[in-house]
Amino acid sequence: MNGFDWQAKLRQKIRTIPDFPGPGIQFKDITPLVRDPAALRLAVHQLIHPFVGAPITAVAGMEARGFIFGSLAAWELGVGFVPLRKPGKLPYDVQSVSYTLEYGEAALEAHIDAVGPGDSVLLVDDLLATGGTAQASGELVTRLGAQVFAFAFVIELGALKGRQKLAGYLVHSLLVL
Ligand code: AMP
């Protein structure tokens, strides 16, 4: 983008909160980024940039911050959005995958008819930490019979090596912190 340091612009809008939600966690708060229209537009533009024209049929986003970036990415790519939700939230029949989080245990669910054979899905979340959430999301989409096209994240915490859990997949992250 013509020498414009877009990564610096995004980095400025991410606030680090020490020891949230527990001791030792450096929480990356993206609320200043999504509050700023230029930064939000920039983040979404950069998230989808490698995928414009790709044969993606849906974007899936992980609850909750993946809904923000995922639905905007789906809008920009001209495809629909699939929410991957915490257990007990979806009203229809679900497929479920459990996993280990940087801070605890969790599971994600999707409606059984959300995607299926013939779908090629871009998975979007705000942040890649240990990779457990992303790996489980990929598993969920795969169990429903769809293909994972790629993963896209605003932030990747490089030291936690989440990318290794996603070996074999295309992983696009805007900032490695
Ligand atoms: P993981 O499964 O360890 O890759 O964790 C990724 C998920 O947890 C994402 O949905 C993030 O929103 C959230 N998360 C994990 N660690 C952090 C962190 N340090 N700051 C903000 N969100 C985080």
Contact partners, residue 29, CB within 8 Å, separation at least 6? 14, 15, 16, 17
Domains plus CATH for the chain?
55-176 (3.40.50.2020)
- HSE-CB of 58 using CA atoms within 13 angstroms: 19
Which residue has the CA at smallest separation from atom 12 of ligand 1? 127
CA distance linking residue 135 with residue 171, whole number of Å: 12
The residues carrying an active-site annotation are 65, 102
Question: Mapped to the 3 state alphabet, what secondary structure does 146-175 carry?
Answer: CEEEEEEEEEECHHHCHHHHCCCCCEEEEE
Burial of residue 3 (number of CB atoms within 10 Å: 0-12, 13-18, 19+): exposed
| Average pLDDT for 47-73 | 98
Distance from the alpha carbon of residue 108 to the mean position of ligand 1, in angstroms: 14
Tens of pLDDT, residues 139-152:
999 999 999 999 99
CB under 6 Å to ligand 1: residues?
25-28, 62, 65, 101-102, 125-134, 162
Which residue has the CA at smallest separation from atom 11 of ligand 1? 127
Which residue has the CA at smallest separation from atom 3 of ligand 1? 130
Distance from the alpha carbon of residue 56 to the mean position of ligand 1, in angstroms: 25
Q: Place 52 in a pLDDT band, splitting at 50, 70 and 90.
A: very high
Distance from the alpha carbon of residue 78 to the mean position of ligand 1, in angstroms: 27
CA distance linking residue 124 with residue 62, whole number of Å: 7
For residue 27, which atom of ligand 1 is closest to its CA? 20
DSSP summary character for residue 90: -
pLDDT of 128 > 60? The answer is yes
pLDDT at 101: 72
pLDDT at 2: 59
